[in-house]
Structure 1
Amino acid sequence: MEETPIIGIDLGTTYSSVAVWKDGKVEIIANEHGNITTPSFVSFNDNERLIGDAAKNQASTNLSNTIFDIKRIIGRSYDDPCLQKDLKRWPFKVVNCENKPKIQVEFRGEIKEFAPEEITAMVLTKMKQTAEAFLGTTVKDAVLTVPAYFNNHQRQATKDAGAIAGLTVHRLIHEPTAAAITYGLDKHITGTKNVVVFDLGGGTVDVSVLVIHEDPFFDVIGTAGDTHLGGEDFDNRLVDYLAEEFHHKFSKDLRTDPRAMRRLRTVAERAKRTLSSSMEASIEVDALFDGIDFCTSISRAKFEELNEDLFERILDVVCTALRNAKMTKAWVDDVVLVGGSTQIPKIQELLKDLFWDMPPNVSMNPDEAVAYGAAVQAAAFNGECELYMSDVTPFSLGAKITNSRISTIIERNTPIPCSKTKSFDIDCRTSTVVRAFEREESVPKRKTLLGELRFEGSETELRELKVQFVVDSSGILRVRAAIESFKSLVPKGRFSEQEIEKMVCDADIFRKEEEAEKKRLEAEYK
């Protein structure tokens, strides 16, 4: 009996890709347009839902109903400062539903609200369909990639999105770890090599420090990252600069016009790409605002100046990863670049200087590397190839018992999967609340409440409370606590199983409606 294929999906902020292990090697799968990357865009109009290239093509004409940057929303609460900052730039509407963000669109004449998990599931469905068209069979299983610095909420929400898309997610694998797998297999490493994988994409920066052995064995020993820092932030700086120049030249504020801002963002992104190979980029937009044509140019030096502080923040992430791994720069054998934003010359120059004039390794295709590694991990699940991998927790995890201080149970950089139990003496005459937190050691005040459970008071005085933390191979935490019998902690802000099931049903309705419409159109043209 032939094994069911397990696909690997690189779920990106701006673009996604999919790969599969087939006939003893990895195949990067092109979409219907022949591209190996698909825009992570979803658009709604009066007649249909569009995903990928077709959706991105509507970004300038159907502004309020075209959704992008969903990776910057998923797993965040509505009051998250990063989300609030982004809301000022997005042309689509995000509403507050009990401190959960929901995306509001007009679809088929009605106002609809979608959870970030549902929009993400639509992108995953597109990647699933791309793989099915290539394989000629139904796909139900996947390995998904996530930033190494995704927190517990973001990981669980991504896994839920996979379920809504009709996928069994066998594992979430860190994006730099997936890239390291690609690097390790491509280089046919002998002996042991200390490698820094630097992954800078559209919305996130992730750095992992690994020891790669020839087994092949990949041992992650330290990570660091920022889930709100990437190529789109460079675009934002350029857009702000150009909008200010327009205001200075014509005394008109085009920031009041979302369509003009979207068109400006398109040319700004194009200019950023041009500056990776040229010292200057021309910008020309006909009738940008109030019928005014806008023509200007931007130099590479000016672009670098606009983003200087962001580049410094990125270097800080690299240094933090090295500290977390307890590794000095002198011990690093190679610095591997992944992600489209690593093509920016200044980024490569700064990394070269940081690592004492060692040029970074740019040999891997940044559009393929992460999906490739995810497909290898998927094949290992099916027993089609050998792979040994050890990853770590990016944050420390602790428990707070009622009004006590947070007590760390699992330290940051602990290899996963792992399980640890800690006992506390409590007074059972009053109710006891167990709260689980995720903490970022580099920012002492930054902590995230993951969930809580309560034990009601009784006549008994001192008793022993046992708290068990279990982190699975996807980096997702499960917590149980017991005085006499175990209770499981309910993750804060997560959708219930019933809500997830409803989203699955809604996604299935979308799929059936679109299949019916496709068959109708095919019949018309016969």
Structure 2
Amino acid sequence: MTVAFGIYVGCSSCCISVTRDGKFEVVANAAGDRVTPAIVAYHDAEVVTGLAAKQGMIRHGGNTIQHVLRVAGTCEDEGQGQPGGGSGSGGACLPSWEGGQARYSVQRGDKTVQVTADDVVTHIFSLLKEIATAHTVEQELPVVICVPAWSSENTVAVVKKAARKAAFNVLATVTQPAAAALAYGLADDNKQNIYTVVLHCGGTTVVGSVVEIAGGLLTVKESITSSTVAGNSLTNLLVQHFAKEFYTKYKGDPLENRRSRRKLYNASENCKHVLSTMNTSQVYVESLWEGVDFSTTLSRARFDGLVAGTLTAFLHQAREAVQRCGLTEAQISKVILTGGSAKIPRLQQLVGDAFPRADLLCSLPPDEVLAAGASTEAALLSGQPTHASVASSLVPALATSVFCKIIGSKSNECVFSRGTPTHSRQTLSLALPAPAPASCTVVIYEAEELVEEPPVEDALAQVDVTNLIPDSKLLRLDFHLKSDGSLHVVLQETQAKINRTFVIESGRS
């Protein structure tokens, strides 16, 4: 397979990425947008999905379904059909539960038709399939799907079933935190143990997760979800601000009817996105209330002031996840932002202040990160048979990190970090002291962290290297950690033509 796809499907939007020759690219839909609304509208003779369905909500709200992933796979009303809908609900069709399955009643012509949440999800994947086929000539469409961190097993099953109905070959599913780490290649380094916070700021939920990356393996240590504040909370604050401004000017309430409310919500949402990249946004709504047009301007500084309290609340999930893991902010090495609301500069600043010692990773568009990570995993699964999937599994791994040191020199490096799975390989080039001695001693030891003078009891092997010459500068060591826990080492020095092989039998590691 030369092409692999990654898909992220959330409550508010979906995104698809394609990986060719190890490089991923988030691809656009027919409208030229790389993020597609996860909205489906049932009209008399057709089913409309994506941006067209969202734009038609003002007129066809009762037949338009959004946030379907919150109810897919649920057998009863859990109070999450329209999380945080507020001003943006716009009269959208709400689910009911019959026969242990979420259903929607939509009007198609003169008939009222029942459609299941599973059917709605399938329509979303059918649209994504159209996007995918425009970027490959192959019949098979291998895909890894990224699902929200809060997804239940039943929700994941519905997503996989819908993808298969749309003719995708589902290789695996990954959760938001794992996909985010994959997108930035954090699993490629098997020499470091790091803790990473992934903060997902979506339209209906904020998810804070802690991911441990050890020996190339990703482990989601904690994940906390809240729908109390999210991207739509920010939009609703703008709706209230603009409604108040309109009332001050024209003494009319644009929130008193569904159509006006939906128009103002759409304008507010667009304003929020514009202010993520621009310092000022022009807002114009034609015939907002009783034929009166509304026009205003909002600066980023004013926007930051309006949403300051809500943005601060976004950080609560990340901080709580860190605390539940028994960690402190200082122990977090990297922070990844995902979701459309994570593009807001003020939020990025707040996150950077909250984790001052961490690298803030937001070079990729936050609303495209998850699809990119999923396509990276799809490429690995379809093209690299030795790759260990990030799916939950038990993998034999090192209990302690392994280091290699040349006695009497500054060369002292990590070979394999704790948690490195078997079967693994690593190559080190260690600098010899200058001028080169006639002989040196190489110590391979295990420890929790690098130490200058490793205790004798921690040594796995001590090798004397003799017959070095003045031109000797580097020792090359090839390490092969086998599945039985044994460590096979090849030591070479090209100038003196030294080539030695030895085996460290499996032990404490």
Interval of TM-score (by shorter of Structure 1 and Structure 2):
0.5 to 0.7
The answer (yes or no) to whether the contact 1:72–1:203 under 8 Å persists in 2 is: no
Alignment of structure 1 residues 110-509 onto 2, 5 Å: 110-139=111-140, 141-167=142-168, 169-184=170-185, 191-213=192-214, 216-226=216-226, 229-356=229-356, 360-384=360-384, 387-388=387-388, 390=390
3-state SS, counterpart of residue 212 of structure 1: strand
Is residue 2:43 matched to residue 1:42? no
Distance 1:301 1:348 in 2: 15
Aligned positions of 1:11-30 closer than 5 A: 11-30=9-28
Residue 254 of structure 1: SS of its match in structure 2? coil
- By how many angstroms is 1:390 displaced? 4.9
Pairwise CA distance, 1:181: 0.6
Q: 1:161 to 1:231 in 2, by over 3 A?
A: same
CA positional deviation for 1:162: 3.0
1:391-422 deviations in Å (ceiling 9; x for gaps): 679xxxxxxxxxxxxxxxxxxxxx9xxxxxxx
Find the residue that maps to 2:366 and give its secondary structure.
coil
Residues 319/280 of structure 1: CA separation in 2 closer, same or farther (3 Å cut): same
Specify the alignment match of 1:103 in structure 2: 104
* Contact 1:202–1:231 (Cα < 8 Å) also in 2: yes
Q: Which amino acid in the other structure matches residue 121 of structure 2?
A: T
Contact 1:342 1:348 in 2 (8 A): yes
Q: Which runs of 5+ in 2 are unaligned?
A: 394-418, 420-509
Partner of 2:281: helix, strand, or coil?
strand
Deviation at 1:26, TM superposition (A): 3.0
CA contact (8 A) 2:67 2:81 kept: no
Residue pair 2:67, 2:82 contacting (<8 A) in 1 also: no
Q: Assess if the C-alpha contact under 8 Å between 2:187 and 2:216 holds in 1.
A: no
Q: Does the residue aligned with 1:81 lie in a helix, a strand or coil?
A: coil
Structure whose CA Rg is larger: 2
Matched residues in 1 for 2:216 and 2:132: separation?
27
Once the two structures are superposed, what CA deviation does each residue of 1:266-322 show, in whole Å capped at 9, x if it has no partner? 210122123334555342222211011223344445534543443343211011221
CA distance in 2, matches of 1:31, 1:84: 26
What TM-score results when the alignment is normalised by the length of structure 2?
0.67
CA shift digits 1:329-375 (9 cap, x unpaired): 11222212222211112211221221137562221232432112112
String of CA shifts for 1:68-121, please: whole Å, max 9, x gaps: 332344345664334366566242222423375422322354322222221111
TM-score by length of 1: 0.65
Q: Are residues 272 and 30 of structure 1, via their aligned partners in 2, closer, same or farther at CA, if it must alter by over 3 Å?
A: closer
Contact 1:184 1:212 in 2 (8 A): no
Cα distance in 2 for partners of 1:79, 1:57 equals 28
Asked if the contact 2:84–2:229 (Cα under 8 Å) also holds between the matched residues in 1, the reply is no
Unaligned runs of 5+ residues in structure 1 are 394-414, 416-526
Conserved? CA contact 2:4–2:20, under 8 Å: no
Equivalenced residue count is: 391
Deviation at 1:389, TM superposition (A): 5.0
> Does the Cα contact within 8 Å between 2:90 and 2:262 map onto a contact in 1?
no
> What are the residue-to-residue correspondences of 1:74-89 with 2, within 5 Å?
74-76=72-74, 79-83=77-81, 86=84, 89=89
Question: Take 1:260 and 1:368, find their aligned partners in 2: how far apart are those partners?
Answer: 31
CA distance in 2, matches of 1:84, 1:14: 11
Change (3 A) 1:305 1:161: farther
Report the equivalent of 1:418.
Answer: none
How far, CA to CA, are the matches of 2:27 and 2:274 in structure 1?
27
CA contact (8 A) 2:179 2:374 kept: yes
Alpha-carbon shift at residue 180 of structure 1 (Å): 0.5
Q: How far did residue 227 of structure 1 move?
A: 5.1
Alpha-carbon shift at residue 174 of structure 1 (Å): 0.7
For each residue in 1:206-226, what CA deviation from the matched residue of structure 2 results, as whole angstroms up to 9, or x when unmatched? 23322335x643333332223
Whether contact under 8 Å (1:65, 1:105) holds in the other structure is: yes
- Asked whether the 8 Å contact 1:223–1:325 carries over to 2, the reply is no
Choose 352-361 or 268-277, whichever is displaced more. 352-361
Equivalent in 46, 49, 52 of residue 51 of structure 1 = 49
Q: Distance in 1 between matches of 2:124 and 2:48?
A: 10
Matched residue SS, 2:180: helix
Root mean square deviation of aligned Cα = 3.2
